[in-house]
Structure formats: structure tokens, C-alpha cells
Chain A
Amino acid sequence: MAPPSSRHSSYSKKAQYSVFTGYLLAGLGALLGAGLLALSLWQPSSFAPLRGAANDVVAPAGEGTAMVRNETGNLFDAISGYLSAGSQNAALREEVELARIRLEEAKSVEQENERLKALLNLAEGEAEPVAVARLVGSSSSSSRRFAAIGVGRVDGIEVGMPVHSARGVVGRILEVARGSSRVLLLTDSESVLPVRRAKDEVVAFAEGRGDGLLRIRLINLGTNPLEEGDLFVTSGAGGYYRPGMAVAIVSEVTSDGAVARLIAEPSATDFVSVEPIFEPEAVEAAATPIEEPLAE
């Protein structure tokens, strides 16, 4: 396409100046952007209030799309369910029988657990969730993995609170605004979560890889005890997450750990609940420099 006007600078001083000014302003803008970028990489929370205010405005629109997303997801599940209904029915029936037996066993274990805890004077129960909300959106065009929920400071949300769905851990609160919050999903490449294998005490870190899978990094190096299908749950270390919440299942064993798949995929969940921080004292202690004594 030909340029609509003659856009090369002519002999006119005015035209030359306006071209020059355009370049100058754009160059200054790029420098300004670089400065802002450096500032926000150095202090990631410095623009959080601005972002929060903007997300407060968009969050209500997200509620609508979240509802549509859940409905269409259910529709696809229903259609695919019809295709394999017969054979699945028999298999499920058998599985339910077994699950019932296991459930009764689990109940007795739970009771015994409670009794033992009572003996030890450990008062610990299910934490009451701070809020229940829909995931209203995400940073779907960026390489970071953030999600937004439609509850915020007015609902009692605070930074660091764990977010989970009915299946397991989804992430934790990163920034809080008045009526919306940003969630750091487990799949983000900056997310690290202390986990342990559900059946024994193999402890590890679950790090996001940035492509939807988690990397399980064992803390104790040596022979790799992991196997495909191992379930990892939160270990409670670090103080943010209550121990025993499901996180991931090993899908591939590597030389120094494993690659694991998420159990609670955010896009497949409709509601998530935000729980209070498991051990606020531990989080505070971890944030306090070693030289300072902890306030009692």
C-alpha cells in the first residue's frame, strides 16, 4: 500500500520538526517503559494498587464468562459420558463397592487419629474457608500464570492465603485489591510448593515449569524412590498450606525427581475456596531476619 500522504520529511522545517518530535517522544516512551519495567521487576508489588483497581472493574464481567465456561465444560463432559456409558457403568460399580469399604476403614482411622490427637492435646481441625469464589479470569496471553478471583480485601482476603478447589491446591493469593485478588497458580514458573509423597515421608518441592506441568525436586538426593502414579500432597512446611491437600500425580520419572500433573486444574473447577494461612507465626518467622529476635 502506498503511504496516504508523503510521510518523508520535506524541506518544510515544521514537517521536519514534527517527525523529529514523534521519534523523540516515542524514544522517551520506550525509556520510560524500561524504567517502569525495571522498577516493577525489582519491587513486584509497586504497581499492585493500580492493577488491583483495574481488576476490580473487570472482575464482574469475568463472573459471567466463568459461568458460561462451566456450563460449556459440563456440556462436553455430558456428551463424552454418553459414548462410554455401558462399560464405564460396570467398572464404576465395582469401584464404588471397594471405595465404600475403604471409606469405612478410613473413618475408623480418622477416629483413632482424633483420639490420639486428643491425647496429645493437639487442637486442629478443618480450617473454615475465608471466602468461596469463582475464578473470573487469567493472564491468558502472558507467559506468567495468574488467575483472578472476585473477592478481595473487603471479604477478608490477605496476601499468601492458599486457594484450593474441591480436588486440591490451585495456588495462593499474590495481590489483594478491594473487591478482587490475583492468584499465583501452581503452574507459574515462579511458584514453589513444599510437598511430600502421600504414602510416606519423601519430601520435595513442586515447582511450576511454565507449560502446565510441575517439576518435583527431591530434597534428599540419592536413589530416586519415585514411581509413576505417586500422589503428592502439601507437607505443611513453610506455614502457608495446611498439610495433606492433594497437589499432583507423577507422570514421568526423571533422574533427579519427577514431572507431575496437576490434580486441581483451574480451568476445570468452578468454585475455589480461600483458606486462612495455616501457620501465620511460621510465615512471619520466615520473613524475619535472623538477627532480629521474634516478638513473643
Chain B
Amino acid sequence: MERLNPTARADRYGSRINRVQSPWRALTVPYVTIMLGSLLPVLFLADVMPVVPPIAFLFLIGWRIMRPGLLPLWVGVPLGAFDDLFSGQPFGSAVMLWSITMIVLELIETRFPWRGFWQDWFTASLAIVAYVVVAMVVSGASMTPHLLLAAVPQIALSILLYPVFARMVARLDMFRLARSRRIA
């Protein structure tokens, strides 16, 4: 018998025979990546100025923009509270700012349902600039021109890294939806 193409019964999430998606994986991956993003900046030692981009926030807007409707609108409350435990910001700052971000991104989405990547990047850049600056204002630090100047490299780095994070989110989404569970 002629040998069948081995990928004939597979799609990009894996073989469709005998395999289903794992509900655990499909539901937890976004939350786990965002929470790891909260933990990661703790391990860097920045004594001069903020240098590490807000990784958790980048993942949050990445998942929100790439997969609309996956994260519930109120997700800023639990994830923001977790981020506040580690970020060094006063408790409540990420709870408030992430909730507002989710609402604003939802409004943008209802206004512009058809978007391209450039527009997404533009939206994300605006969100990053607003988030970093407002987080600085509410951080309890006394505002000086030097403080604002010191945040510029962090903002620039975060904006430039957004496409990388979008790619990572896309990869993680493939992993999330991979047919990993075997059914007998």
C-alpha cells in the first residue's frame, strides 16, 4: 500500500488522531507566563536606574492583543496583585494600572476590530509609555527631571522588545493549544 503523508492527519497543533488538547495547559499557560514575568525582574540587580522592561506587563498586553477574549477583563486584579508583591511599587499600583489597561484595550478593540501588526505595536507602545510614566508617578518617588530621563532607556527597550514578546506569545499559544493529551 502506498505510504501516506505522515502530516496528512496533523494540523499545526499536532496529530489529530487519538490526541486532544490538554485543558490544563490551554487554561494556565497565559497566567503562568505573566506571573513568571513578574518574578523575573526581581533577579536582576539594577542599582542605577530602571533597566529591565516590565516583563509581566509586556506579556499581559501581548496575550491581550494577540488573543482577545482569552483573558477575562478583570484579570488585572489578581495578576496585578501578584506583580505588586515583587515589583517594588506600592501595593495596588499594578492592580489599578493593569485593570485600566484591560478596559482601554477592550475599548480600542471594539473601536478597531480589524487590525494589523503595526497598529498593534503602536497600541502596545502607547500602553507601555503610559504605564511606565504613570507607575513612576504613583511609585512614591519624588518626581525629578532626572527620574524621567532615567526611565527613557527602559521605555525604549520595552517598545523595541514588544515584537519579540508578541512572537513569544504566538509560540506559547502554539504550545498552549498543542494536542498533547492521548485518548485511549
A69 vs B47: C-alpha distance in the bound complex, in angstroms?
13
Q: Is A189 an interface residue (CB 8 A)?
A: yes
A141 vs B44: C-alpha distance in the bound complex, in angstroms?
9
A210 touches B47 (CB 8 A): no
Nearest-CB residue, chain A, relative to B116 = A1
Q: Would you give the shortest CB distance from A49 to chain B, in whole angstroms?
A: 11
Contacts of A69 in B (CB 8 A): 45
B90 touches A40 (CB 8 A): yes
A1 vs B116: C-alpha distance in the bound complex, in angstroms?
6
Partner among B66, B87, B110 whose Cβ is within 8 Å of the Cβ of A139: B87
Contacts of A1 in B (CB 8 A): 66, 114-116, 120
B147 touches A140 (CB 8 A): no
Query: Which residues of chain B from 45 to 93 have any CB-CB distance to chain A below 8 Å in the complex?
Result: 45-55, 66-69, 72-74, 76-77, 80, 84-93
Contacts of A65 in B (CB 8 A): 43-44
Q: Is B9 an interface residue (CB 8 A)?
A: no
B92 touches A40 (CB 8 A): yes
A3 touches B92 (CB 8 A): no
B85 touches A209 (CB 8 A): no
A37 vs B94: C-alpha distance in the bound complex, in angstroms?
9
Nearest-CB residue, chain A, relative to B120 = A1
Query: Which residues of chain B from 88 to 130 have any CB-CB distance to chain A below 8 Å in the complex?
Result: 88-100, 102-103, 106, 109-110, 113-116, 120
Contacts of B98 in A (CB 8 A): 33
A210 touches B73 (CB 8 A): no
Nearest-CB residue, chain B, relative to A210 = B147
The residues of B with any CB-CB pair to A shorter than 8 Å are 39, 41-55, 66-69, 72-74, 76-77, 80, 84-100, 102-103, 106, 109-110, 113-116, 120, 135-136, 138-142, 144, 146-147, 149-151, 154
A-B contact list, 26 entries, CB within 8 Å: A2-B114, A7-B69, A7-B110, A27-B99, A33-B94, A34-B92, A36-B96, A37-B90, A41-B90, A41-B138, A58-B43, A66-B45, A138-B46, A139-B41, A139-B87, A139-B88, A139-B89, A140-B52, A143-B136, A144-B88, A188-B141, A189-B144, A190-B142, A210-B147, A213-B146, A265-B47
